[in-house]
Amino acid sequence: MRNTAFFAAGFTLLLLQAQLFRVLGLIHVPGLVPSLVLPLILFMGVHEYSLPRGAAVAFALGYATDLIGIAPVGLYTFTYVALFLLARGAGVRLAAQTTWMQVVLALAFTLVHSVMLLMLLAVFGGNAYVPRALYPLILPHVLATGAIAPLVFRLAHRIHSATTAKATGGTLA
């Protein structure tokens, strides 16, 4: 139940992100579009979700991002699963309970994700110009994702609480 809820929320956030791309494209600040799915994957990683189930949700959301974002198939699929595993490894040491920690976590992992994407595009992309054209977009993207991360973490926490209450037979308040 929880994994389905997280996938549905992630897919909805992905569609919202696509609309944000259209709207924020009118502002003419390249790279300003935040990644709305990335904080959701971080939430699952630092909250010690089941490794196979969390990786499966990250895989499905990455594949949907590849298809909707017209990225090479497998690019976001691989990086989202890798980020889930990194967040899961860091989850023991990091508690994303405070807003500032959520922002710092999102900033750091978005930067790692952006660098991973550029490196993979440089190695497997076939066109050396693409990573050079994309690297100026990293800073606005990282800052936008860090700014929106507490809202996505709050949404993820509500989903987590609602599915935990249902799983234990409790009532939803």
Question: Mind listing the pLDDT tens digit for each residue in 7-56?
Answer: 999 999 999 988 888 887 667 677 788 899 999 999 999 887 789 999 99
Confidence bin at 169 (pLDDT 50/70/90):
low
Domain boundaries, the chain: 2-167
The pLDDT, as a whole number, for residue 167 is: 54
For 2-167, give the CATH class. mainly alpha
Say if CB 60 and CB 83 are below 8 A apart.
no
Please check the confidence at residue 67 and state whether its pLDDT lies above 60: yes
What does the mean pLDDT of the chain come to?
A: 85
Cα 30 from Cα 45, distance rounded (Å): 29
